[in-house]
Amino acid sequence: MGWLQFYYDRLLQAFYALRDNRLRSVLSVLGIAVGIAAVMAVGAVSKGGSYLVFSELETFGLNSVWVYRDRNDKDPNRRVRKGSGLDNYDYYAMKEACCSALDKITPMVFNRDRSIIQTGNRYSNARVSGVNSDYLEINNDHIIHGRNFRNLDIKRRRASAVIGPTVVEDLFGKGSNPVGKDIRIGIRRFTVIGVLEEKSRDFLASIGSAGGQDANNRILIPFTLFQQMNGSKAINFFHMKARSLEEADLLAEQAKAFLQRRNGKNYKYKTDTMATYIGTADRILSGVALIGVIAASISLFVGGLGIMNIMSTSVLERTREIGLRKAIGASQADILMQFLLEAIVISTLGGIIGLILGASASIVLATLTGFPLTPTPLVITIALVVSIIVGVASGFLPARRASRLHPVEALRYE
C-alpha cells in the first residue's frame, strides 16, 4: 500500500500546485479540451458517416452491377460510332446467354431532361425511365399501392406507369392512392398501376435512379414503350443483379467481356459495381476524417505547447522549492514524477472535459440530423489515451529540467 500512498501524495501536491496557478491551468486545460472534443467529433462523424453511407447503399442492393458504353474510349484502331452502344439485341442476348453470375437484368432507357407530368391542372417535373418487370427487385424498390409491371405490359408496350411518392404528392396530394388514375407525360396518356415506397431523400438515394436524380421523384414506364416514343431501340445502360454479393465482380467481368465480343469493333464498355460506390464513399469519408484529424492535431499541439509553457514557468517559480526538497532527500525520480503528474493532471482534466463537450455535441447533432453520431467506446478510449500521451510528452522536458537542478544552485535562485 506504500506505493498507493506515494502516488496519492504526489497527486495532491499536483492539484495544490495547479490550484495556485488557476488561470494558466484553466487555459491549458481548455486547450486540451478543445483538441479532444475535436477528436471526438471526428470519430463520431466518421463512424456515423460510414454507417449512413453503407446503410443507404444497402437499400439499392449490394450485388448490383451496371454496364455501359465507355465514352472516353480513344483507341485509334476502333471504329467508334455514335450512340449508346447498347440495344435490344444486346439485351436479349445478355438475358439468354451472357453470364453464369447473372440473376436478373433490366435495360435502363431515359432522356437527360426531366419531363412535365400533368393531371388536370396539377403538374410535376420528374425523371421518366424505361425499365422491365425485374427492375424493382434489382433496385430493391417496393410497391405500396397497386402492382409492378407484368411481362405483357412490356411486350405490348402498354401505357402504364409506376410513380414515386414525390410525383404522387405533386399530382394527387400527399398520401393519396392514385392507382387507376391517368396522367399525361408530354402528350401521351398513361394509367398509374403502382406507387413506389418512399426512399431516403439523402443524396445517396440518387444512385438508385437513372441519371442521378431523387429516387422519389421518378416515373417508371415499359422500356419498349419508351423506345417507341423515342423512335430508337437504344438502351442507355444495363442494371444487373448478381446471384450473390461474392459474384458481383465476376458478373461485371463477364458482362463486359460478353459485350466486347459482340460489339468490340465499334464500342468499348465499362462496368460499375456497388463496391465502386462504396469505395468512392469510403475515400470521401476518409478525406473528411483526415482533415478533421489534422485540425484536431493542431489543436492538441497548441494545447500541448500550453502545458509545456505552464510547466516551464512552474519550474522557474518553484526552483527554490525544488532545491529544498532535494536538500532534504528527494530524488531526481521524485521531482520528475511530481512535475509529470502535474502535466498529466492538466491533460487528463482537459481530456475529460473534451469528452463531455464532444459527446454532448455529437448527441445534439444526432438528435437534430437523425444521423448515428454517438461516440463509441473505442473513440472515447482513444481520446483519453491521446490526452494522457499529450500530457506526458508536453511535461517531460520541464520535469526533466526540474529533476536535474542542483540543490545548492536551486536554493540560491532568486
What's the pLDDT score for residue 180? 95
What's the pLDDT score for residue 366? 76
CA atoms of 346 and 26, how far apart (whole Å): 8
Backbone angles phi, psi at 209, to 5 degrees: -125, 150
CA atoms of 343 and 242, how far apart (whole Å): 58
Q: In terms of DSSP bridges, do strands 237-242 and 102-110 run parallel, antiparallel, or are they unpaired?
A: antiparallel
3-state secondary structure of 67: strand
CA atoms of 69 and 72, how far apart (whole Å): 9
∠ at Cα 134 (167, 181), nearest 5°?
Answer: 35
CA atoms of 397 and 410, how far apart (whole Å): 18
CA atoms of 201 and 72, how far apart (whole Å): 31
DSSP code string of 363-392: HHHHHHH----PPPHHHHHHHHHHHHHHHH
- Count CA within 13 A, CB hemisphere, residue 200: 19
Q: Where are the alpha helices (DSSP H) in 98-222?
A: 135-138, 151-155, 165-172
What's the pLDDT score for residue 409? 72
CA-wise closest residue to 347 among 403, 404, 305, 286: 305
Would you say the C-alpha torsion 60, 63, 69, 72 has a positive or negative sign? Answer: positive
* CB-CB contact of 352 with 385 (8 Å): no
* CB-CB contact of 222 with 154 (8 Å): yes
* CB-CB contact of 90 with 84 (8 Å): no
CA-wise closest residue to 65 among 244, 277, 274: 274
CA-wise closest residue to 373 among 358, 351, 384: 358
pLDDT along the chain (414 residues), means of 10: 62 68 77 82 74 72 88 57 78 89 94 83 92 93 95 95 95 92 92 91 47 77 95 93 90 93 84 83 79 78 82 79 80 81 83 86 76 70 81 83 76 64
Helices (runs of H) and strands (runs of E) counted in the chain: 13, 11
For residue 38, give the C-alpha cell. 475535436
What's the pLDDT score for residue 407? 72
What's the pLDDT score for residue 211? 45
For residue 37, give the C-alpha cell. 472534443
DSSP state of 376: P
What's the pLDDT score for residue 205? 46
Q: Where are the alpha helices (DSSP H) in 59-173?
A: 88-97, 135-138, 151-155, 165-172
What's the pLDDT score for residue 74? 56
Task: Quickly tell me which residue has 463537450 as its cell.
Answer: 357
CA-wise closest residue to 392 among 322, 310, 323, 337: 337
CA atoms of 72 and 266, how far apart (whole Å): 13
Under 8 Å CB-to-CB from 328, ≥6 apart: which residues? none
What's the pLDDT score for residue 340? 83
What's the pLDDT score for residue 203? 45
CA atoms of 199 and 58, how far apart (whole Å): 12
CA-wise closest residue to 303 among 26, 6, 13: 26
